[in-house]
Structure 1
């Protein structure tokens, strides 16, 4: 049995921290790519209007975005490392393009303040998920059931167009993605295979974890924006 003097981390703990740092680094890079693409689109409102007015293009991009994230979630660990990295960043760029439509709905100041609020909430819950010794599986299962519930409610509200339902979905969504952030961080920490640092498998695990946390961040941001964002006049 290995022994680490008080105040020193064991080799396994050092590797675990290094792994989660890679996850955060790739997630952050994905957010930078998304933000850059969204801001580029927003720099010329004509580009966003062209996207919104061309329903075939808009829905085509949304379907491609959905298909790519499903593909990445299921098969990222079977890809070559370079392919996995490219696919993740391409998905982040595609998300930035489709996400740019928020600049037509909300003020830039509101979008910026919501982003920083999201970053604070995400950071706090992810840190909790990483450090807590409590098993968050039950919370994760409850959050997943809630996620399916708000997806169903959103589909129904697509036809009903109820502002009350939209508000309820937004606030429930905030709670759900706050919980998922903590749960997913704990799950990502646990899935790291100690001893494979620097390997292709380790790199693909980091991309997989980054994708999960990236999705939590983006969805939390959108829920907060819907609930608290200031709309354009």
Structure 2
């Protein structure tokens, strides 16, 4: 018979584990540990991809090949190749195996490095290094905000995604019809948009863990998550470099 006068109807009895939000402390600890491993895997892939791209860019530029290639129409192959890998990974996600996505991610990082080698032809080495470390610090802070905030950033994510398309249109207009000050405005907006996307993507990936934990999809989400954060970092770096970089 229920004891309607019991002031603590939900108290735990002997031999039971205390709970938080319906989960035992053991389940919560296990979930948190799995989430940390999952996020660490994403950051490891992302950081390794950025490092690989940086090494490829530096070697390609130092060899003199970058200057030779970017003086010919072949430069468009290097510029557009990374986009091809992103589209292939995005549209083929459900059909591809995790190992295939891994290979495509590393191939993307290499081609992105070849494309990025052009910055060594435009900006001084010290300004590139200073901007890179500034971007890394900003990225770490923004990603931490996205991971720890209790505020739902999904609305902001939709707004920022629309901002990316607007940014692309503005860049195309400026490429064919250059206007004074538009380039600087595009760079400032680019930094702000991808800074916001860094926080949004981090929160989105954190929340995705609850749906993919223990499934075959988790490995794919890790790689695609690393790709998203990689793109946030690289785009923020490039826009910031156009503002802070010293030209050769």
TM over 0.5, shorter chain? yes
Does the C-alpha gap of structure 1 residues 54 and 18 become closer, same or farther in structure 2, counting only changes over 3 Å? same
Matched with 2:217 is: 201
1:1-233 mapped onto 2 (5 Å cutoff): 1-4=22-25, 10-44=29-63, 46-55=64-73, 57-193=74-210, 196-197=213-214, 200-232=216-248
Deviation string 1:105-130 (CA, Å, 9 cap, x unpaired) is 00000000000000011110011001
Residue 140 of structure 1 and its aligned partner are, at CA, apart by 1.2
Gaps of 5+ in 2: 1-21
* Deviating more after overlay: 100-109 vs 158-167: 158-167
Runs of 4+ in 1 over 3 A off after TM superposition: 193-197
Residue 41 of structure 1 and its aligned partner are, at CA, apart by 0.8
On the 8 A contact 1:38/1:97 being kept in 2, the answer is yes
**Structure 2: how far apart are the matches of 1:207 and 1:77?**
13
RMSD: 1.7
Q: What is the TM-score of this pair, normalised by structure 1? A: 0.92
On the 8 A contact 2:85/2:108 being kept in 1, the answer is yes
Deviation string 1:44-64 (CA, Å, 9 cap, x unpaired) is 2x2111111121x21123222
On the 8 A contact 1:193/1:202 being kept in 2, the answer is no
**Structure 1: how far apart are the matches of 2:212 and 2:236?**
33
**Structure 2: how far apart are the matches of 1:9 and 1:3?**
6
**Structure 2: how far apart are the matches of 1:101 and 1:220?**
16
**Structure 1: how far apart are the matches of 2:217 and 2:212?**
11
User: How many positions carry a matched residue from both structures?
Assistant: 227
**Structure 1: how far apart are the matches of 2:221 and 2:43?**
12
Residue 77 of structure 1 and its aligned partner are, at CA, apart by 4.2
